[in-house]
């Protein structure tokens, strides 16, 4: 079986090709799956995509017409896939239900510490042999309050690190995580979390109920010197409202590994292009904002687990089996997803 994989990063390619070696041939492409590139997959029963691929109804129709039966997405998120359209087309959709939560949690902490201690500004200065400390003062995190929205595997890993720092812990989620409670986390309404937390981190899935959960009202409720970190999904934050908040001189720092409109920019070299996204352009002008390109998951451990799960999804599909990663199985959409 020959498989075509879209959106394969250079560092990811050897992991993907090694995992499938001796089983199936993989055609690894660095282009992302969308309506323009979908015709490339004609004749491939199995297509693998990344989280920034566009798998809307029109793209799925093109793939189905070309003979694709399985989409094996190499990510946990699946907000980019029209599951109902896939079901109507008789396709199967698999994802990676989990991988190293430490990869994302540790990176979220890297963002938090970097903006708190002005690491990027300091590094730029010292490269120019400017060793002044003016404007580089941060704060101890010990004794301050971390607010964690979403306390699943990643949120729990973040919480354990916060506990190690000696922070007070506030959480918000649909269900309490008893392991977080054991660490001293107190679950509160999210309005209280926004108002009391010194460090706010997002580890929620992007669904209708969480879209722009950090909106103008949430930002207004935050402390003027709060730190906001988002390493989950860009759509959780109203970026225009965030820019207005920063323009008002509020928030000590913001660390973003994701962005609402990232699909047009992230994973590409846009250094020679004119960026036509005014919101992103304004966001990048703030000295206390650190933006990275959706790399929180990008460790050897996590990528290895993602690839292994993708291989399992392919093998189970070919053997007419299902597993916990399958969102749609041969046109059958779980009732809970409808």
- Residues marked active site are found at 233, 262, 294
User: What is the rounded distance in angstroms from the CA atom of residue 151 to the CA atom of residue 149?
Assistant: 6
Sign of the C-alpha dihedral computed for residues 95, 99, 102 and 106 taken in this order? negative
Provide CB contacts within 8 A for 291, sequence distance 6+.
Answer: 256, 257, 259, 283, 284
What angle (nearest 5°) sits at the alpha carbon of residue 122, between those of residues 121 and 127? 105
What angle (nearest 5°) sits at the alpha carbon of residue 310, between those of residues 81 and 40? 60
Cβ contact 177:151 at 8 Å: yes
| Token pair for 301 | 């451990």
Q: How far is CA 321 from CA 92, 99, 106, 159, 326, in A?
A: 11, 21, 35, 36, 10
Give the DSSP letter of residue 237: B
């Amino acid at each position: 079986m020959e498989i075509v994989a879209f959106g394969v990063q250079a560092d990811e390619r050897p992991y993907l090709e090694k995992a499938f070696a001796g089983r199936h041939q993989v055609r690894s492409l660095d282009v992302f799956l969308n309506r323009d590139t979908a015709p490339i997959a004609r004749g491939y029963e199995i297509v693998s995509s990344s989280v920034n691929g566009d798998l809307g109804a029109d793209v799925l129709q093109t793939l189905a017409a070309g003979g694709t039966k399985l989409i094996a997405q190499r990510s946990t998120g699946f907000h980019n896939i029209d599951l109902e359209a896939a079901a109507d087309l008789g396709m199967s959709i698999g994802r990676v239900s989990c991988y190293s939560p430490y990869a994302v949690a540790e990176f979220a902490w890297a963002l938090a510490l970097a903006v708190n201690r002005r690491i990027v500004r300091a590094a730029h200065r010292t490269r120019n042999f400017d060793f002044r400390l003016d404007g580089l003062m941060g704060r101890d995190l010990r004794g301050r309050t971390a607010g964690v929205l979403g306390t699943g595997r990643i949120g729990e890993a973040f919480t354990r690190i916060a506990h190690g720092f000696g922070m007070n812990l506030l959480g918000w989620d649909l269900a309490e995580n008893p392991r977080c409670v054991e660490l001293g986390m107190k679950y509160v309404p999210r309005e209280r979390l926004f108002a009391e937390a010194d460090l706010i981190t997002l580890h929620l899935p992007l669904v209708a109920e969480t879209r722009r959960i950090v909106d103008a009202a949430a930002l207004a409720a935050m402390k003027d010197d709060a730190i906001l970190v988002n390493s989950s999904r860009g759509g959780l934050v109203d970026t225009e409202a965030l820019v207005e908040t920063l323009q008002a001189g509020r928030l000590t720092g913001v660390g973003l590994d994701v962005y609402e409109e990232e699909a047009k920019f992230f994973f590409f070299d846009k250094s020679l292009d004119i960026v036509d996204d005014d919101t992103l352009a304004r966001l990048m002008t703030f000295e206390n904002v650190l933006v990275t390109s959706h790399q929180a998951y990008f460790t050897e451990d996590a990528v290895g687990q993602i690839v292994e799960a993708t291989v399992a999804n392919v093998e189970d599909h070919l053997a007419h089996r299902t597993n916990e990663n399958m969102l749609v199985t041969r046109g059958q959409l779980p009732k809970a997803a409808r």
